[in-house]
Chain A
Amino acid sequence: MKPAEKDLLICAASPTAYTLGEIELGAACCVPIPHIQLENLCVSYFGKHVLEGVSLDINKGCITALIGPSGCGKTSFLSTLNRLTDLIPGSRVQGRIRIEGVDVMDTNLDVLALWRKVGMIFQKPNPFPLSIRRNIEMPLREHGLRQRDDINERVERALHDVGLWEEVRDRLDAPALALSGGQQQRLCIARALALEPSILLMDEPCSALDPIASAFVEELIQRLRNRYTVVIVTHNLAQARRVANYAAFFWMTERVGKLIEFGRCQSLFDSPNHELTAAYVTGISG
């Protein structure tokens, strides 16, 4: 039996595998309190602008999907939110980014606290070349958690959160790289969740996975609603429709990425205001 199929069966068999609870369906599920506020965000690499004039508010507890064709700055947008752009050579970020009212771009900012608050999941699963347990445990230790019991409890809870606990509980010390793609990605999510963030950034988390693993991760994302603020970049329009509360549509005009439309997911898809949006969501262009 392929590992991914086994995943599916186990999950179906033990509905209490998740501590995140029931999947909440339906569009309206959150009170619109802004969690992340962006004003006139501009991103450039070595002088070349990739994103310009982006202003939007991302609401607390909601899943916001960033959609649009490749290359219009969605990943760059995401990278600004946790200051990953600091690592990218030649990058320059202008504009205001506020998370819970605090300016992210402030040089006096406690970046460590920021990283604890904002977790990031990458397109290609990147578990460290360590054991499964150590992958989750190590960041916890580095952030100051020392008590063995606390650590174990968090590890277990994180693995429960992502539905991996039943599958890996008896091989926590096996290398993480031996897991299947879907399991690795879920491990990365568990690793991020263990730090108890309030925001989760996901950059096309399912695109490198096969359909079954992808379905798993998607289902996991749906459970994150209300507990976390999720910003997810996705090329899969159907996925965005299924998963997101809000959607932001990006497009390239004059070789620069711009935010074309932002609103509730359902209305963006069913009755878009902008003609470009309409064209994109019905698959005419992009």
Chain B
Amino acid sequence: MIPFFLGEFYVGELGGVYIFAIAGVGLMLLVGYTGLISLGHAAFLGIGAYTNSVLLAQGVPFLITLPISGLFTAFCGVAIGLPTLRMSGLYLAIATLAFGSIVGTIFQKWSSVTGGFDGFAVPTPYVFGIPIEGANGVYYTSLAVLVFCIWLTANILRTPLGRAMVAIRDSEVSAQSMGINLAWYKSMAFAISAGMTGLAGALFAHYVRYLAPDAFEVLLSVQFVTIVFVGGLGSIHGAIFGAIFVRLLPQFIAIVRDDLPFNLGRTPGLEPALFGLILVLVILFQPMGIYGLWLKTRHWFQAFPFKRASGFRRQKSYAKSERLK
């Protein structure tokens, strides 16, 4: 609906928010529900983007390239999930970080396919003869894929698959004793998470319209992790709140920048610094992120005349350091 009464710029930005929300939902399954960390999701986004664009350039229709980029990225997710089965926390973060930079290098060096540093113009996709172009096209496609991913995630969470993920996050030893095959479910968590990020990547290609390897660097992975943490670990709402936040922060910085003193406003690296600072502050003071803040607000209104500070004390039990061990 929004495209009817908002300008093209805002519709484009919202499309970007949806794309990041898709990746955020994917990463949420991995980090928030399975308790595995990944600093390599920018690579998955890139794999999805390049798969989609390269296939489109070969003349494969968009309705086929989109699922294929999801499936192929899911396959790559298993490829990183399997060798890291026994890793967790910091070690897994480093392993996925390394994976990310390997994939980044492949994007740069494999110029016959990816176009290397020169980049790659993404062809316009057609669905039933209708071109998907401009801000509106990306907006509606991303919205549809986002709804699909949320539906998938909601189903996962109410069936044995999602419960197995939660079980692995909370106690591997008893998960195993309950009949959960750790290797299988961890790989599946990686596959599904990577697959959704791959879908986001395919759409991201159309959002940026011109692929270059430097779009998929570590900072992007950190942004995804920020989505998950700032939004609130362990909730789908959180992934969406987080995506809104992460996409709108740079816009906010761009607007505020002009009013800041010249030296501060033009400082390079202001954006990554702010991301880092916010991530740290959220983990310290609001472990359940924006979603937690929302729950608190709702709780306050529900209990209105009887506001109790202790009403939300249970969030402390969500100590995030514990989650990431």
Q: Do A and B interact with each other, yes or no?
A: no
Using a CB–CB distance below 8 Å, which chain B residues touch chain A? none
Using a CB–CB distance below 8 Å, which chain A residues touch chain B? none
